[in-house]
Amino acid sequence: MSGGRHDPIRISFTLNGETTTVEVAPTERLLDLLRYRLGLTGTKEGCAEGECGACTIYLDGLPVDSCLIPAYQVRGRVVETIESLDPEGMAHYHARGTTQCGACTPGVVMTAEWILRHPDRLETHTVRELMAGNLCRCTGYDGIIEGIEGALEDREAE
Amino acid sequence: MLRREGLSKLTGRERYVDDLPLQNFLWGATVRSPAARGRISEIVFGDGVNWSEFVIVDHTDIPGRNAVYLMEYDQPALAPGYVRHVHEPVLLLAHPSREVARRAVREVEVIVDVDPPALDFRTLPSADLIQYGEDNVLKRLSIQKGDVERALAESPIVVDGVYETGAQEHVYLETQGMLAYLDDDVLVIKGSMQCPYYVLKALKTALNRSDEEIRVIQTPTGGGFGGKEEFPSMVALHAGLLALKSRVPVKLIYDRTEDMVATTKRHPSRVWHRTGVDENGRLIAQEIEVVMDGGAYVTLTPVVLSRAIIHAAGPYHCDNVRILGRAMFTNSVPYGAFRGFGNPQAHFAVERHMDVIADRLRMDPVELRRINMIRDGQTTATGQVIADGVDRLGIVDRALALADYERRRREHWIRNSEHRYLRRGIGLATFYHGAGFTGSGEVMLDSRLQVEGLPDGRVQVLCASTEMGQGQITIFTQLAADRLGYDPVDVSIAEPDTHRVPDSGPTVGSRTAMVVGRLVERACDDLRRKVGLEESVPGALVKDAIIAWHSAHPGQRLLGKARYEPPPGIAWDEEHYRGDAYGAFGWAAHVAEVEVDLRTYDVRVLDFVSVQDVGTVLNETLARGQVQGGVAQGISWALLEECVWNDGAMENGQLTNYIIPTSGDLPPIRVEFMEFPYKYGAQGAKGIGELPLVGAAPAVLNAVAAATGRQPTEIPLTPERLMALFGNGHAPGEAP
């Protein structure tokens, strides 16, 4: 351990609306920092290679796979996890069978909520296409897509 | 009723085993065999690691019998000097840092004096490959009905076919994981599993401990599909051994690659059909041979083979049937339970073969099925009389109507003749699945369940059934609430904990709602009797009576109990494989519409209709989710999921190169239920979990056949395999 290459890095970032300061190892993944050191276990590991989307969080407002982000890279940036979402907004999904085993669910919900916040994307893509970055082994995806479409309809009606 | 733990999952608050708060613990890791077969000559610990920081466990640390015991004792918990498959566990390491533990695994070199491995289950092994019995046959089973030889000889038309299916990995999104620690002298195991009492059984055997000295608790489980039926016993044993040696808590969580390469998978199969039919398409004789790859240890293979041969003749009546089943030992990863349990392999073959027969007869495949579909009063291959009143032809008709089958077919003919390279087709599969354990299996399980009346009048269901996404918590809440006239909020389901709940059997085999659910109802009835009430007393009075009982019996527990009783008139002859294989069958039809691109040989499923009889539908949203998820797994088994093997090692243990479908790869799956209640299932329910997967692959391939005029016989039907049918194609039954 010489030359500082492995020395911890001190970073500050905004996590779910609050400034957070931690020391991270250069190779530490954002996913592990969130789960094992900051207690935010809602974000799940499914594949650790950016295929399944179970670890989806928002980085500066964009959905990304936290398993692929070195923790030090979030210095000065804004991170939001599933824990930041309003539980009241889950009723559409609950009613339509969006979750079964729940392991992919937080990632699915993060992407789904992002679609709801960016309805302009639906002018060029379908919900089914936009959800293709989140693997689910239980639902066959219909329960997920119906949950999002239901939420969209309910919002239009409001 | 909405999924009870749904909001907790949707908000990320549900705590899976890797989410549990834990201080001062070690991360476990597993050192595995690099070779498919041979004697371990040396284990070399690399220089770059400070091994004194590690707890290291090998087979000599096992206090009891070195076995992962379920059916047989053949599979060691840790290889005792000889390995029989790549990735077989050899050593266990534990360290406070997960990264250090994982790196250290790579610094241990297991040197194997290699013996020749048996890797092809389809050919009979030469003498140097024999490692099990006299011929590497793990299990042989057969079914006989009528006189097949004579009937085949007298058949005007005989059609042969050979059908092959590949291994399939479960890919539950939560990988295998266990936590083990000592609570005084009790070894506590918490983790992801379908069957707490299977885990307990294995731990008792290998750790030489009593029921009291081991406590197994299921944590919320992120998918199972059979992959958490028997394999968690291995993970629990490993975590337990490390915790016993280190005396501190140990967490053992597989990463995705370890989970994919080292755990059980669906049995590869090769099924041969020889079928005698008359000119009108009536089945005269069915001769069938089912061969399965069992892998390196027995696990549940004999039972998987059993379910495969029982269903191998399909949902048809035929007077002359002979089915031979054989499961082979090979030096590959042990194959195990996977949703459908042998039946998807059986139905892939018979349902594909029905279309091949129809093609030979120049007959409509729908008509061929209509003629032969089993009718009430007729018998299955085991001689079981079907008399359940299910309108099987009605199910087929409804599926065809929903899919607009006839019109689509006409449209496809026109379209296919006009388009340069796109071909569309539509295909049907009709199928069935026996719910619950086979034959006398449910009697042997002797399942028990309790419903406890609590001092405040609420009730709690005590059972070993587990929630893994299929909806058990919700369904059991509904059943108890309905039975007692309760508001569901006054019903709770106890955490599956072998120190608190009775053994209500494993959560497998589409048995939970139908069989164990019925025990929920009967235990509720017993509870009501114990407080002196008749049936049909309103819930408010039951509640009052429970409160009053507790006032009169302070400090005592009020338990309504139920124990499995077989439905009347069920008779199964295990020795001859004759009689009533299952108490009830679910019946179904799938229709798939596909488009094949002749430039790329890519197959796209455009539409999928599923009509299912699962008895009474207990919860529409949950039931629909089961069907859609099962169909999705079946479609992707048919088209996408391929384990790539190299000298017995799975090479593509990543979601990057082992492909499961995204939302973009699947069509909407349209589901309709036709309900034919089963008298002995909870509220009339039959099994649901496995049935929808069973017919998906043949429906898709039958559609491909309709689209292309070729007869694919192997899955996964990758573009490479489909292209071969256009280039160096071979007809079914011929050697490739």
Q: Do A135 and B655 touch (CB under 8 A)?
A: yes
Q: Are B507 and B492 in contact (CB under 8 A)?
A: no
- Measured CA to CA, the distance from residue B192 to residue B177 in angstroms comes to 6
- The residues near A11 (Cβ < 8 Å, ≥ 6 apart) are A21, A22, A23, A24, A71, A72, A74, A75, A76
- Secondary structure of residue B326 in the 3-state scheme: strand
* Closest by Cα among B55, B73, B56 to B64: B73
| B9 CB neighbour count, 10 Å cutoff | 28
Q: Work out the minimum CA distance from A18 to partner chain B, whole angstroms.
A: 19
Provide the token pair at B662.
């995204």
* Pairs of CB atoms within 8 A across A/B: 172
| Distance separating the N- and C-terminal Cα atoms of chain B | 53
Q: Are B716 and B641 in contact (CB under 8 A)?
A: yes
B328: three-class secondary structure by DSSP: strand
Contact B472, B726 (CB under 8 A): no
* Residue B735 pLDDT greater than 50, yes or no: no
Task: List, as own/partner pairs, every contact residues A3-11 make where C-beta atoms lie below 8 angstroms and the sequence separation is at least 24, other chains included.
Answer: A9/A72, A9/A75, A11/A71, A11/A72, A11/A74, A11/A75, A11/A76
Q: Which of residues 49-68 of A touch B (CB under 8 A)?
A: 49, 51-52, 54
HSE of B270, CA atoms in CB hemisphere, 13 A: 13
For residue B334, is the peptide bond before it cis, meaning its omega torsion is within 30 degrees of 0? no
Measured between beta carbons, which residues in chain B are less than 8 angstroms from residue A82? 11-12
How close A141 comes to chain B (CA, Å)? Answer: 6
Spatial distance between the Cα atoms of B566 and B447, rounded to a whole number of angstroms: 11
Contact B189, B199 (CB under 8 A): yes
Given a cut of 70, whether residue B733 has pLDDT beyond it is no
8 A C-beta contact, residue B203 and residue B233: yes
Q: What is the pLDDT of residues B529-584, one digit of tens each?
A: 999 998 888 899 999 999 999 999 999 999 999 999 999 988 999 999 999 999 99
DSSP B73: S
The Cα–Cα gap between B157 and B284 comes to 9
Residues in chain B: 736
Distance from CA of A118 to the nearest CA of B (A): 19
Which parts of B513-618 fold into alpha helices (H)?
517-530, 539-552
**Closest by CA position to B432, among listed B254, B581, B575, B300:** B581
Whole-model pTM? Answer: 0.97
CA distance B126 to chain A (A): 40
Q: What is the mean pLDDT of chain A?
A: 95
The beta-carbon neighbor of B173 closest among A39, A81, A103 is A103
Cα distance from B662 to chain A (closest Cα, Å)?
5
Q: Residue range B221-235: average pLDDT?
A: 98
Q: Provide the 3-class DSSP secondary structure of residue B43.
A: strand
Indicate yes or no: CB of A128 within 8 angstroms of CB of B624.
Answer: no
pLDDT of residue B734: 42
Label residue B350 by pLDDT band (50, 70, 90). Answer: very high
- Decide if pLDDT at B502 tops 80: yes
In the block, tokens 């309809």 appear at A153
Residue of chain A whose alpha carbon sits nearest to that of B634: A140
Residues of B in contact with A85 (CB under 8 A): 11
By the 8 A CB rule, do B189 and B217 touch?
Answer: yes
Q: Taking 50 as the threshold, does the pLDDT of residue A2 lie above it?
A: no
What Rg, from alpha-carbon coordinates, does chain B have? 26
Which residues on chain A are in Cβ contact (under 8 Å) with B621?
A: 95-97, 143
Q: What's the whole-number average pLDDT of chain B?
A: 97
Backbone angles phi, psi at B498, to 5 degrees: -65, -10
pLDDT tens column, B91-146: 999 999 999 999 999 999 999 999 999 999 999 999 999 999 999 999 999 999 99
- Residue B657 CA to its chain's centroid (Å): 23
Interface of B with A in 216-235 (CB under 8 A): 220-225
For residue B165, list its beta bridge partners. B269, B715
* Cβ contact B11–A85 (<8 Å): yes
- Neighboring chain B residues of A94 at a CB cutoff of 8 Å: 2-3, 6-7, 10
> Would you state the pLDDT for residue A4?
63
Nearest residue of B to residue A28, measured between CA atoms: B99
- How many CA atoms, within 13 angstroms, populate the side-chain half-sphere of residue B693? 31
Answer whether A82 sits within 8 Å of B12, measured CB to CB: yes
What whole-number percentage of chain B has pLDDT above 90? 97
**Nearest 10 degrees: Cα torsion B435, B437, B439, B442:** -120
CA of B572 vs chain A CAs: smallest distance (Å): 34
Please say whether the beta carbons of B270 and B162 come within 8 A: yes
Q: Closest-CA residue in chain B for A102?
A: B9
Q: The sheet that has B137-145: what strands, in order across it? A: B137-145, B321-329, B283-295, B269-277, B157-165, B714-715
**Closest Cβ opposite residue B174 in set A94, A103, A109:** A103
Using one digit for the tens of pLDDT, what is the confidence trace for A38-67?
Answer: 999 999 999 999 999 999 999 999 999 999
Average pLDDT over residues B709-721: 97
Interface of A with B in 122-141 (CB under 8 A): 128-129, 131-141
* Local confidence band at A154 (pLDDT 50, 70, 90 cut-offs): confident
Question: Among candidates B75, B97, B81, B109, which has minimal Cα distance to B28?
Answer: B97
- For chain B, the farthest-separated pair of C-alpha atoms sits apart, in whole angstroms, at 83
The residue of chain A nearest to residue B3, with distances taken between CA atoms, is A94
Which tens digits make up the pLDDT trace of B286-343? 999 999 999 999 999 999 999 999 999 999 999 999 999 999 999 999 999 999 999 9
Distance CA B98, CA B104 (A): 10
Contacting residues of B for A148, CB less than 8 Å apart: none
Q: CA-CA distance, B708 to B697, in Å (whole number)?
A: 17
Q: In chain B, which residues have their Cβ closer than 8 Å to the Cβ of A26?
A: none
Provide the pLDDT for residue A30: 98
Is pLDDT above 70 for B609?
Answer: yes
Residue B469 touches chain A, beta carbons under 8 Å: yes
Amino acid at B202: A
B146 inside 8 A of chain A by CB:
no
The CA distance from A149 to the nearest CA of chain B, in Å, is 13
Q: What is the chain B residue with the closest CA to A47?
A: B256
With residue B95 as reference, give the H or E element that holds it: strand B89-95
Nearest to A105 among B10, B621, B666 (CB): B10
Query: Counting every residue, how long is chain A?
Result: 158
- Contacts (Cβ under 8 Å, ≥6 apart) of B477: B1, B4, B461, B488, B491, B492, B493
Place of tokens 């020795």: B575
pLDDT, residue B731, reads 42
Select from B9, B654, B660 the residue whose CB has the most chain A CBs within 10 Å, as the one to mutate to test that interface.
Answer: B9
Q: Does A42 sit within 8 Å of B12, measured CB to CB? A: yes
CB B629 within 8 A of CB A100: yes
Structure tokens at A15: 């996590």
Contact B469 A102 (CB under 8 A): yes
User: What H or E segment, with its residue span, contains residue B231?
Assistant: helix B231-246
Q: Output the CA–CA distances (angstroms, integers) from residue B177 to B299, B327, B352, in the order listed.
A: 19, 29, 38
Distance CA B283, CA B321 (A): 10
Name the residue in chain B with its Cα closest to that of A25. B99
Average pLDDT over residues A67-86: 98
Contact call for B223 and A137, based on CB within 8 A: yes
Contacts of A103 in chain B (CB under 8 A): 16, 172-174, 222-223
Please identify among residues 85-124 of chain A the ones whose CB lies closer than 8 Å to any CB of chain B.
85, 87, 90, 93-106, 109
* CA distance, residue B564 to nearest chain A CA (Å): 28
pLDDT category at A157 given cuts 50, 70, 90 is confident
CB contact B158 to A (< 8 Å): no
pLDDT per residue as tens digits for the range B240-298: 999 999 999 999 999 999 999 999 999 999 999 999 999 999 999 999 999 999 999 99
ipTM confidence: 0.97
Q: Is the pLDDT of residue B460 over 60?
A: yes
Q: Which residues contact A37 (CB under 8 A, 6 or more apart)?
A: A22
CB proximity B18 to A under 8 Å:
yes
Q: Per-residue confidence at B728, pLDDT binned at 50, 70, 90?
A: low
On chain A, the residues whose CB falls within 8 A of the CB of B15 are 41
User: What is the amino acid identity at position A15?
Assistant: L
% of chain B surpassing 70 pLDDT: 99
Residue partners of A46: CB distance under 8 A and separation at least 6: A52, A53, A54, A55, A103, A104, A107, A135, B173, B174, B256, B655
| B160 contact A CB<8A | no
